[in-house]
């Protein structure tokens, strides 16, 4: 079966029950998508499937046939970072950084659906993404900055 | 090359930690008379193990400490770059590989800036001075006529200036100035220290290219997942190798050596599945249907064990600190208060589960591990593979959180053994369930505090703690808290109370007990900070005033003044560790403690009127040589639903090298401590951990995280710790706020559903 991964067509002929997470990390060597719980409980493995946030540990290869998958590696357009990536840097959001790819992908999905979320809507959208370093207030601020148009995409 | 290795602390108490050893080596400082060229490749300028200036002038910084989010790998470069007068863009960050030449690399105890601030300043300043000296000779002017600035040396006489590169070769032939001859910059001259420099890994993190232990890839690598005995010390009984081998992608099934207690950092045993990808290895493990025998800890049941702890609280006292006679004063008083507190096992729950990759090239072993101490990996792996520790190359990757878990490299030993067996590189992957089932847990504690008052003034304070010691992981004889644990909040109770006593009670460990961010401060400050609030309520005072009264006059505290001479079973005498520091360099200063409490009370508007169902709690504590006060505001709805809208932190950590990171560590400490206080509990049945993942062991999500406002007290004092000191005052501030809002006193963590109607 074929699908698109960050704009490129890729083929897969293995077990359709393999979670997308392990295809990305182990078979493609794309380790930006993180393994946190393997059970859809933490959000560290969040990617976009046809533009919607999805937990790649709970998304099976047979489910992505013909679809477009975007990972953190494909979020920027070349050297032009997504506005959220810039906002993450400007607010010094990450501490250890492990969950942040998933956080950014989740937030990007939120803003593409709802460019002006309320604080409540931000909390609801980000509820599934755990950060053990406790960077939540900076995550909220970074999303707010983009939603309010204070931060644009570009180079760091 | 020769180093002057300064033995800053050889504390008897540390010996009970076994592997953590009794020697704490401070940063290596170059001895007098060493020529730079003797330390490295000719033509490069090596000022100490931490800094080498290449011929092109780039400054290579060997950040020997690891990065787990606490910010040391940005903070330490700030320190060295500042003294070097470096251009931030000309820094090259070298990987953190294990090597004794760097001194202590164990990145725990909030020590990186505290212990290496001087050494990194020295490294930068020595190199700057040598470059200036070389330039002065070249231009034929006095050293005072040249000045380094932003990676160039300026000639103040002629106005000429040259890049550092022009003088590296000449400077490398000079003697490295010894500690006494190095001129450090003054505070107004600082360009990076005290400034909010951005995380050096920022771009990698936000684009997904940062490399954590789980992300390591090597050519031809296999992926390993293991089934381990659920009970510590249990053994493998049976497994179905054929069924596992039948899973597509599975390459081999390999038994791991059984654990012989004490556990130390040894692997737990069991059986591993090697496969061409992690998912196949996980499926292979399921197919194994591995069965285990229990062993000596198979009866461990935490609900039963709690009774044992309370019996110990009622039982014999081992007195570690005694001033006056608290027991007699309490017995004679008609105004006493006593309360019992309980804190269950807690778990690190790092976002990144442990992982290690091993590559054998012939007889040479190389490893990439998300470890807190690459030297501990060397030491732990070496006996299992018949090598000397320095023969093993160990690189610390970035750590996706650590909190103490990744200072125990049991998982690295597994990787080394499996890679040797396979004849191929192997990445040992721990799943989330492996992480929860096989942790080094925070201990389980029962605490009792009793005090006598006279006219609202506390006249006696007696506190007892019973919990299994971390020492039990290394030494089966350990029985109850050691003085190295009581020293985290109890031996250094900051009270001027005339009669004061701290006792320990017996408690044997039946699981691997390890250190978790802020360690024994967690339960000890929970009890202390709650009880001060309870006393304040009884005395009809506000809690800030109660703290101020009990702390008393501005003074330096020396707990050893009140240590009894003979403590059976604790090496003859109780000792106060002061977080591995001397009391001369890092005194316990009650003025600083009171100042942060006053500051937080101001910020939070402590004492203001609050509507029904709202309340504020406070607590203050010194740990890891820093002082932190916390205030928390809560709202409790009629049905018991709890909201925590805001928290305030005031911190005095001496010089704050990176103020923004100090703030983020305080923000993170609030969320970390709230996670455990609200939800955290690991329980055991039949010797095995009951919980498995984030459903059974919930942590704070974004809706539970308060907005945290942090104030940093301006200070010129030597830096204290930052990663851990934010944690201890948070849980007591929370339960005190809940009491203020509802009148309900929570004495048992986690809060969980205790407020529900």
> What are the tens digits of pLDDT across the range A102-139?
999 999 999 999 999 999 999 999 999 999 999 999 99
Please give the residue of chain A at the shortest CA–CA distance from B216: A31
In whole angstroms, what is the distance from residue B426 CA to residue B347 CA?
27
A17: nearest CA partner in chain B? B279
B208 DSSP β-pair partners: none
The architecture in CATH of the region A2-74 reads Roll (3.10)
pLDDT digits (tens, 9 = 90+) for B560-608: 888 876 555 555 567 899 999 999 999 999 999 999 999 999 999 999 9
Distance CA B701, CA B513 (A): 26
Give the Cα-Cα-Cα angle B339, B343, B345 (nearest 5 degrees).
160
Residue of A nearest to B198 (CA): A92
Angstroms from B501 CA to nearest CA on chain A? 36
Q: What is the dihedral of CA B668, B669, B675, B680, to 10 degrees?
A: 140
Is B207 in contact with A85 (Cβ distance < 8 A)? Answer: yes
Task: Tell whether B74 is within 8 A of chain A (Cβ).
Answer: no
What residue segments make up the domains of chain A, in order of their start? 2-74, 83-147
Contacts of B188 (CB under 8 A, 6+ apart): none
Contact at 8 Å (CB) between A28 and A10? Answer: yes
B352 CA: distance to closest CA in chain A (Å): 6
- Left, alpha or beta for B623 (phi > 0: left; psi -120 to 50: alpha)? beta
Q: Report the residue from B209, B279, B398 with minimal CB separation from A32.
A: B209
Provide the β-strand partners of residue B53.
B45, B59
Instruction: Tell me how far the alpha carbon of residue B127 is from its chain's centroid.
Output: 31
Residues 6+ apart with CB under 8 A from B227: B239, B270, B271, B272, B273, B285, B288, B290
pLDDT (mean) for A148-154: 97
Question: B458: which 2 tokens?
Answer: 């506390």
CB contact under 8 A, A96 and B68: yes
Interface confidence (ipTM) of the complex: 0.99
A76, A133, A139, A143: best mutation site toward chain B, by most B Cβ within 10 Å? A133
CATH number of B3-195: 3.30.365.10
- Whole-number Å distance between alpha carbons of A33 and A52: 15
Q: Which chain A positions have a beta carbon within 8 Å of B349's beta carbon?
A: 132
pLDDT of residue B278: 98
Q: H or E stretch including B462?
A: strand B457-466
The CATH code belonging to domain B316-347+440-742 is 3.30.365.10
The answer to whether B373 and B337 have CB atoms below 8 angstroms apart is no
Question: Half-sphere exposure of residue B721, counting CA atoms within 13 Å on the CB side?
Answer: 22
B183 touching chain A per CB within 8 A: no
pLDDT for B567 equals 53
pLDDT at B572: 53
What ranges in B12-97 are assigned the alpha helix state H? 12-15, 72-84
- Alpha-carbon gap, residue A31 to B355, rounded angstroms: 14
β-strand partners of B28 = none
Q: Helix, strand, or coil here: B575?
A: coil
- Note whether A138 contacts B667, CB cutoff 8 Å: yes
Contact B661, B691 (CB under 8 A): no
* Residue (of B757, B688, B698) closest to B510 by Cα position: B688
* Residue with the two structure tokens 């010996």: B15
Q: The domain at A83-147 falls in which architecture?
A: Orthogonal Bundle (1.10)
Q: List Cβ neighbours of B757 (8 Å cut-off, separation of 6 or more).
A: B638, B639, B640
CA distances (Å), origin B403, targets A115, B317, B634 = 36, 31, 27
Pairing assessment for the beta strands B445-454 and B336-343 based on DSSP bridges: antiparallel
Question: Cis omega (within 30 of 0) on the bond before B750?
Answer: yes
- Are A73 and A82 in contact, with CB atoms under 8 Å apart? no
CB contact under 8 A, B215 and A31: yes
Question: Quick check: B279 and A26 CB within 8 A?
Answer: yes
- pLDDT for B405 equals 98
Residue of A nearest to B674 (CA): A134
Cα–Cα dist B576/B486, whole Å: 8
**Nearest of B204, B251, B494, B89 to residue A88 by alpha carbon:** B204
- DSSP-derived letter for residue A22 is H
The minimal CB distance from A136 to the residues B71, B665, B702 is found for B702
Q: B79, B59, B107, B67: which is closest to B197 by C-alpha? A: B79
- Put simply, whether B703 touches A (Cβ < 8 Å) is yes
Residue B647 contacts A, CB cutoff 8 Å? no
| pLDDT for position B46 | 80
Q: Which residue, among B28, B44, B24, has the nearest Cα to B36 in the 3D structure?
A: B44
pLDDT the model gives residue B219 = 97
Q: How far is CA B556 from CA B416, B472, B487, B561, B621, in A?
A: 49, 33, 16, 12, 15
Q: State chain B's mean pLDDT as an integer.
A: 93
Selecting from B277, B349, B398 the residue whose C-beta is nearest the C-beta of A132 gives B349
- Peptide bond preceding B10 in cis form (omega within 30 of 0): no
> What is the arrangement of strands in the sheet containing B336-343, beginning at the earlier edge strand?
B318-323, B499-505, B457-466, B445-454, B336-343
CA distances A54 to A48, A58, A70, B148, B481, Å, are 6, 8, 10, 53, 46
> Hey, is the C-beta of B219 within 8 angstroms of any chain A C-beta?
no
Three-class SS of residue B486? helix
Kindly identify which residue of chain B lies nearest to residue A130, measuring between CA atoms: B701
3-state secondary structure of B225: strand
In 10 A of CB B275, how many CB atoms?
26
Chain A positions touching B209 (Cβ under 8 A) are 32, 73
Query: Who contacts B216 (Cβ-Cβ below 8 Å, separation ≥6)?
Result: B355, B357, B368, B397, B427
Nearest-by-CA chain A residue for B202: A89
Chain A CB contacts of B695 under 8 Å are 39, 41
CA dist B537 and B186 (Å) reads 48
A22 and B278 within 8 Å at the Cβ level: the answer is yes
d(CA B491, CA B559): 6
Domain locations along chain B: 3-195, 213-296+354-429, 316-347+440-742
Using CB atoms, pick whichever of B211, B429, B671 lies closest to residue A136: B671
Residue numbers in chain B where pLDDT is lower than 50:
1-31
Distances from the Cα of B241 to the Cα of B148, B253, B274, angstroms = 66, 6, 12
Q: Is A1:A61 a contact under the CB 8 Å cutoff?
A: yes
Q: Helix, strand, or coil here: B163?
A: strand
What are the chain A neighbours of B700 within 8 Å (beta carbons)? 134, 136
Q: How many residues does chain A have?
A: 156
Please tell me if the domain spanning A2-74 has the same topology as the one spanning A83-147.
no
CATH number of B213-296+354-429: 3.30.365.10
Rounded to an integer, the average pLDDT of A95-99 is 98
Question: Do B69 and A96 lie within an 8 Å CB cutoff?
Answer: yes
Strand partners, B426: B222, B358
The answer to whether B694 faces chain A, any CB pair under 8 Å, is yes
Nearest-CA residue of chain B relative to A33?
A: B208
**Residue numbers in B near A37 (CB within 8 A):** 432, 693-694
Q: How many CB pairs under 8 A join A and B?
A: 188
CB B428 within 8 A of CB B357: yes
- Say if B212 is an interface residue toward chain A (CB within 8 Å): yes
B199 chain-A contacts, CB cut-off 8 A: 92, 94, 97
pLDDT value, residue B575: 84
Contacts of A138 in chain B (CB under 8 A): 664, 667
């Amino acid at each position: 079966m074929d699908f698109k991964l960050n704009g490129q067509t890729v083929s897969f002929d293995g077990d359709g029950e393999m979670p997308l997470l392990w295809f990305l990390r182990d078979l493609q060597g794309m380790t930006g998508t993180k393994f946190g719980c393997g059970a859809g409980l933490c959000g560290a493995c969040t990617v976009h499937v046809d533009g919607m946030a999805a937990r790649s540990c709970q998304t099976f290869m047979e489910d992505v046939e013909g679809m477009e998958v975007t990972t953190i590696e494909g979020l920027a357009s070349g050297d032009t970072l997504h506005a959220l990536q810039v906002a993450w840097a400007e607010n010094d959001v990450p501490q250890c950084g492990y969950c942040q790819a998933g956080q950014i992908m989740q937030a990007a999905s939120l803003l593409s659906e709802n460019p002006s979320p309320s604080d409540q809507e931000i909390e609801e959208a980000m509820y599934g993404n755990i950060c053990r370093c406790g960077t939540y207030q900076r995550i909220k601020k970074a999303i707010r900055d983009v939603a309010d148009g204070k931060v644009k995409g570009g180079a760091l | 090359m020769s180093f002057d290795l300064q033995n800053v602390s050889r504390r008897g108490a540390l010996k009970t930690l076994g592997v953590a050893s009794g020697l704490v080596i401070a940063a290596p400082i170059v001895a007098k008379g060493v020529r730079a060229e003797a330390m490295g490749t000719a033509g490069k300028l090596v000022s100490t193990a931490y800094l080498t200036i290449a011929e092109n002038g780039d400054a290579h910084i060997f950040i020997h400490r690891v990065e787990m989010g606490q910010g040391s790998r940005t903070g330490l470069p700030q320190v060295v770059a500042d003294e070097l007068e470096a251009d931030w863009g000309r820094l090259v960050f070298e990987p953190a590989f294990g090597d004794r030449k760097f001194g202590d690399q164990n990145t725990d105890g909030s020590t990186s800036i505290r212990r290496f601030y001087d050494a990194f300043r020295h490294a930068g300043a020595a190199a700057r001075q040598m470059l200036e000296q070389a330039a002065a000779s070249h231009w034929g002017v006095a050293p005072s006529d040249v000045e380094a600035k932003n990676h160039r040396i300026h000639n103040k006489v002629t106005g000429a200036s040259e890049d550092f590169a022009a003088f590296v070769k000449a400077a490398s032939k000079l003697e490295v100035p010894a500690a006494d001859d190095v001129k450090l910059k003054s505070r107004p001259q600082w360009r990076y220290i005290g400034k909010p420099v951005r995380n050096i890994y920022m771009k990698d993190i936000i684009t997904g290219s940062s490399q954590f232990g789980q992300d390591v890839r090597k050519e031809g690598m296999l992926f390993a997942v293991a089934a381990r005995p659920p009970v510590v010390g249990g053994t493998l009984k049976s497994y179905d190798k054929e069924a596992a081998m039948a899973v597509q992608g599975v390459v081999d099934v390999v038994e791991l050596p059984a654990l012989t207690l004490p556990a130390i950092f040894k692997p737990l045993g069991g059986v591993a599945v090697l496969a061409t990808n992690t998912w196949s290895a996980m499926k292979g493990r399921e197919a194994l249907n591995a069965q285990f025998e229990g062993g000596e800890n198979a009866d461990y049941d935490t609900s039963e064990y709690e009774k044992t702890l309370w019996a110990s609280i009622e039982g014999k006292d081992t007195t570690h600190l005694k001033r006056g006679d608290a027991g007699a004063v309490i017995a004679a008083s008609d105004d006493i208060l006593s309360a019992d507190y309980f804190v269950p096992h807690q778990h690190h729950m790092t976002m990144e589960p442990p992982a290690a990759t091993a590559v054998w090239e012939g007889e040479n072993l190389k490893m990439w591990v998300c470890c807190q101490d690459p030297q501990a990996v060397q030491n732990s792996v070496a006996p299992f593979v018949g090598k000397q520790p320095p023969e093993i190359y160990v690189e610390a990757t970035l750590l996706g959180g650590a909190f103490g878990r990744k200072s125990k490299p049991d998982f690295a030993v597994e990787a080394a053994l499996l890679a040797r067996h396979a004849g191929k590189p192997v990445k040992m992957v721990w799943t989330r369930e492996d992480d929860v089932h096989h942790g080094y847990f925070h201990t389980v504690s029962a605490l009792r505090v009793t005090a006598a008052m006279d006219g609202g003034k506390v006249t006696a304070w007696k506190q007892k703690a019973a919990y299994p010691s971390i020492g039990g992981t290394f030494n089966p004889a350990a029985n109850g808290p050691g003085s190295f644990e009581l020293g985290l909040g109890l031996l250094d109770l900051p009270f001027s109370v005339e009669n004061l006593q701290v006792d320990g009670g017996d408690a044997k460990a039946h699981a691997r007990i390890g250190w978790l961010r802020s360690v024994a401060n967690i339960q000890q400050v929970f009890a202390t900070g709650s009880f001060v609030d309870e006393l304040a309520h009884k005395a009809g005072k506000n809690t800030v005033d109660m703290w101020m009264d009990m702390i008393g006059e501005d003074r330096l505290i020396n707990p050893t003044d009140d240590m009894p001479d003979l403590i059976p079973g604790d090496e003859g005498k109780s000792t106060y560790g002061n977080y591995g520091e001397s009391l001369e360099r890092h005194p316990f200063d009650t003025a600083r403690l009171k100042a942060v409490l006053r500051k937080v009370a101001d910020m939070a508007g402590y004492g203001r009127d609050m509507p029904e169902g709202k309340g504020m709690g406070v607590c203050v504590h010194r740990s890891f040589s820093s002082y932190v006060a916390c205030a928390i505001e809560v709202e409790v709805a009629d049905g018991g639903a709890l909201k925590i809208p805001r928290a305030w932190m005031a911190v005095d950590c001496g010089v704050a090298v990176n103020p923004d990171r100090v703030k983020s560590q305080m923000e993170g400490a609030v969320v970390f401590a709230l996670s455990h206080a609200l939800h955290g509990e690991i329980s055991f049945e039949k010797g095995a951990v009951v919980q498995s993942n984030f459903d059974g062991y919930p942590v704070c999500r974004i809706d539970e995280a308060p907005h945290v406002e942090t104030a940093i007290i301006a200070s010129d004092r030597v830096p204290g710790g930052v990663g851990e000191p934010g944690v201890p005052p948070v849980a007591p501030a929370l339960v005190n706020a809940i009491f203020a809002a509802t009148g309900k006193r929570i004495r048992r963590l986690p809060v969980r559903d205790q407020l529900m109607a």
